[in-house]
Amino acid sequence: MTGAALARGRTAMPRFLARHGWALGVWALLGLLLAWYSTLIPRFGQFQVVSITKNSLPLIYLAVGQAIIVIAGGIDLSLGGLLLLSNVVAARFMEGQPLGVALLLAVAILVGLALLNGLVGLVIHRSGMPDIVVTLATSYIWSGLALWILPSPGGGTAPEMRWLFTGSPSGIGGTWVTPGMMLALPVLAIYLVLRRTRLGLGLYAVGSHREAARLAGLDVARAKVAAYAFGGMLAGLAGLAMVALTGTGDPRFSVGANATLNSLAAVVLGGVALTGGAGSVIGAVAAAVILIMLNPILSAMGIDPNHAQVIQGALIAGVMMVGGLATILRERSS
Amino acid sequence: MRSPLRSILILAVVLALALSACAAPAPPAAGGGQQASEEAPAQEGGFVLGVSNTLVGNGWREQMICAIKAQARASGVVDRLVIINRNAGPTEQIADLESLISQGVDAIIFNPTDRDALNAVIESGADQGIVMVAVDQAVSSPKAYVATNDQYLYAKLGAEWLFEKLGGKGKVVEMRGIDGVPADTDRHNGFQDALANYPEIQVVAEVFTGWDPSVGAQQALDIITTMEIDGIWTSGIDYPVVEQFIAANKPFVPIVGADNNGFIKQLIELSDEGLVGAAVTNPPAIGAVGTAIAIDALLGKEPERVVTLTPKVFSTDNVEELEALYAPDQPPGWSTYVNIPPYTSYQGKEDVIACKGPGEE
């Protein structure tokens, strides 16, 4: 009895490490960076914790959304465009509204974008066109729509919405509790859906081998639509978080384009295989926070701002190569 | 495989990870001393200044940062600059300003991406005893110092010079910047108000250059080869327009531009060939003005909250002034007007060109 349990424990642990090693490594790296950052600045307290948490929220949501789609074997270049769309709709229509209306609008935006991007998923599945082509096209449509809804930066949101994402009605210097909750709850919910439901496991199956999944009786179309719908909803959440951070809407194309690229960087750094079927959203979360933290760390180190971006890119490349090497070594040894 | 033990283990780890997102960085030096600002009385020196800029690869903005560096160095009371310079919107700039606040700088000089979006972080910084100075563009927070160039007068003074030169009569072209950008709107209003006083001046063409030299050059070529015009007002795309007159072999008409090095050079060298024009200043040295204001505030000198610089007009009426501005070694886009009394104390263009902050080399 005990012997069997022990034996199982012995095999379970390496498997756990093999499956989650990368995510654990990224979290460890984040922990190290946080510890290091706290020694670089004179004071590390609630202000800094809140600052990092809330400023990371948009990228975290977007990275989780991108991770789901990539796990299911796709890639979505339109998430930044959807973020813009959510951002401008919220900023334009929430301004001066009471909390009830603002919350209703928030739900409508999340549901609306989920439906919209689910539809894109269906189009991709039916047309057989590559994900990258379809979503590149839709990214321009969403960005154009955003500019049409809000031609120049402006608008606003309810103070309670700002409090929800930033911990303070003014957006700065609040408590860490609400942004912390807004980080943990959606991520945890998505994680459980992916790992604990038939639908979630189906996404992994479809992403890892589409034809095998179909032959095994999985509804491939449903998986595609679900993955893109989740992605759309999370991009909507990212847009809401961005309005809460700044208190205004920003329809500029570059904002969305940067967000898309950063979401892909976070997914790759977070250990989600771009080939699909492997990885977890947990790693992508830590990777998103790391990407956000690089700027304050590099500036606290006094690195010439003109070199910061190069270092940022080199760091991502370096981490990826170490990860690739680790995978090769592991495969060779087994 | 799907043993409950493993599920629980995974869940526990996930929970721990998720919680660590908020709990791990829990304040090691807790105690809520956060808001207790350093209410230090006016110090005498050793200041650290933060700089936030959100447009990279733009000549004007790079010169602004060099002017900040030169002024900080010349002041003798600044130990160090922390510069955060990246292409960004308000979301990123809020993060950048928070990170400068976290680094414990004494003052922050920033070129704002948005009039209203930064107010909360500006107030948070000011409440922690940090001097917040917006330069180039205004912010609506009353807790910030604001130093800007007067864009309305930039256009009005230049247009008035042009209309006077034409004897109050003739056909002119208005070459604007980017539609919808505040600076362009302000300048257009200034241009229109100047126009209102000259009923016999007629605007025969109005174009948006996008502040892009190649776009402006093409538009200018189209205009001067197809239209009868008496004068051109530009929102800063000036030397490419003059080049088109040469390319098309057309006689010059009076032209108004900014204090760009290339334009100043043309005004000096082509005056013998009949080029008449005026350069209106829009100095990136506004960054140095903001730096001087920040230092004055830190030294307890209580500078004015809002400073709006009135542009200066340098024209071919006084070539010696133009020659004093001209910087032969600098690119055509270099802004020549760098000394702004009483704010700047560096040694003119050499210091700005050197682009060295305190402690560099």
Mark yes or no for CB contact A41/B98 under 8 Å.
Answer: no
Report percent pLDDT > 90 for chain B. Answer: 76
B144-173: average pLDDT = 96
- Whether residues B199 and B114 share a domain: the answer is no
CA distance linking residue A45 with residue B294, whole number of Å: 26
Q: Is residue B11 part of a domain?
A: no
- Whether residues B66 and B133 share a domain: the answer is yes
Given pLDDT bands bounded at 50, 70 and 90, which one contains residue B1?
very low
CA distance linking residue B57 with residue A139, whole number of Å: 26
Residue type, A328: I
Split into its structural domains, chain B has a count of 2
- The structure tokens listed for A49 are 């914790």
CA distance linking residue A189 with residue A197, whole number of Å: 11
CA distance linking residue B50 with residue B121, whole number of Å: 14
Whether B82 has its CB under 8 Å from any CB of chain A: the answer is: yes
**Which residues on neighbouring strands pair with residue B280, listed in sequence order?**
B258, B313
CB B65 within 8 A of CB B287: yes
- Whether residues B242 and B299 share a domain: the answer is no
With CA atoms as reference, report the closest residue to A242 among A60, A118, A70: A60
DSSP alpha helix (H) spans, chain B: 4-23, 59-75, 90-102, 119-127, 151-165, 182-196, 213-226, 239-248, 261-269, 286-298, 319-325, 348-354
pLDDT at B278 over 80: yes
Q: Is residue B288 part of a domain?
A: yes
- Whether residues B169 and B88 share a domain: the answer is no
Largest CA distance in chain B: 93
Mark yes or no for CB contact A34/B96 under 8 Å.
Answer: no
Per-residue model confidence (pLDDT) at position A306:
66
pLDDT at B309 over 50: yes
Grouping H, G, I as helix, E, B as strand and the rest as coil, residue B79 is: strand
pLDDT at B36 over 60: no
Look at the block and give the residue holding tokens 């090691």.
B28
B129-137: average pLDDT = 95
- The structure tokens listed for A269 are 């750094």
Q: Is residue B315 part of a domain?
A: no
With CA atoms as reference, report the closest residue to B266 among B332, B221, B337: B332
CB B272 within 8 A of CB B53: no
- Whether residues B106 and B218 share a domain: the answer is no
CA distance linking residue B269 with residue B267, whole number of Å: 6
CB B230 within 8 A of CB B166: yes
CA distance linking residue B267 with residue B250, whole number of Å: 16
- How close B98 gets to chain A, by Cα (Å)? 7
Residue type, A259: A
Per-residue model confidence (pLDDT) at position A334:
67
| E strand map for chain B | 47-53, 78-85, 107-110, 131-135, 145-149, 170-176, 201-208, 231-234, 255-258, 277-280, 306-309, 313-315
CATH number for the domain that contains residue B164: 3.40.50.2300
Per-residue model confidence (pLDDT) at position B292:
97
Q: Is residue B232 part of a domain?
A: yes
Q: Across the interface, which of A49, A172, A177 has its CB nearest the CB of B25? A: A49
Q: Is residue B327 part of a domain?
A: no
With CA atoms as reference, report the closest residue to A291 among A264, A272, A273, A324: A264
Task: For A93-145, give the DSSP string.
Answer: HHTT--HHHHHHHHHHHHHHHHHHHHHHHHHHHHH---HHHHHHHHHHHHHHH
CA distance linking residue B161 with residue A183, whole number of Å: 58
Per-residue model confidence (pLDDT) at position B216:
95
- Whether residues B199 and B213 share a domain: the answer is yes
Whether B19 has its CB under 8 Å from any CB of chain A: the answer is: yes
CA distance linking residue A162 with residue B93, whole number of Å: 17
CA distance linking residue A159 with residue A175, whole number of Å: 14
Residues of A in contact with B80 (CB under 8 A): 302
Per-residue model confidence (pLDDT) at position A126:
95
Given pLDDT bands bounded at 50, 70 and 90, which one contains residue B3?
very low
- Whether residues B273 and B289 share a domain: the answer is no
pTM of the shown model: 0.82
Q: Is residue B28 part of a domain?
A: no
3-state secondary structure A184-213: HHHHHHHHHHHHHCHHHHHHHHHHHCHHHH
Mark yes or no for CB contact B24/A184 under 8 Å.
Answer: no
Q: What does pLDDT average to over chain B?
A: 88
* pLDDT mean values, one per 10 residues, chain A (334 residues): 49 70 90 93 89 94 97 96 96 91 95 97 95 96 94 87 90 88 95 92 92 91 96 97 92 89 90 87 94 88 74 77 76 74
Residues of A in contact with B32 (CB under 8 A): 45-46
- Whether residues B159 and B173 share a domain: the answer is yes
Which residue in B has a C-alpha nearest to residue A58's C-alpha? B91
Residues of B in contact with A31 (CB under 8 A): 20, 24
Q: Cβ contacts of residue B321 below 8 Å, gap of 6+?
A: B314
CB B111 within 8 A of CB B137: yes
Q: Cβ contacts of residue A189 below 8 Å, gap of 6+?
A: none
- Whether residues B186 and B261 share a domain: the answer is yes
Per-residue model confidence (pLDDT) at position B2:
42
- Whether residues B82 and B190 share a domain: the answer is no
Residues of A in contact with B20 (CB under 8 A): 27, 31
- Whether residues B131 and B168 share a domain: the answer is no
Q: Is residue B13 part of a domain?
A: no
ipTM of the complex: 0.83
With CA atoms as reference, report the closest residue to B86 among A291, A319, A91, A263: A291
CA distance linking residue A195 with residue A204, whole number of Å: 9
Per-residue model confidence (pLDDT) at position A9:
52
Tell me the residue range of the domain where B236 lies.
Answer: 151-280
**Which residues on neighbouring strands pair with residue B81, listed in sequence order?**
B49
pLDDT at B306 over 50: yes
Q: Which of B111-120, B199-208, B262-271 has the lowest mean pLDDT?
A: B111-120
Q: Across the interface, which of B17, B91, B123 has its CB nearest the CB of A27? A: B17
CA distance linking residue A253 with residue A257, whole number of Å: 6
Q: Is residue B20 part of a domain?
A: no
- Whether residues B269 and B159 share a domain: the answer is yes
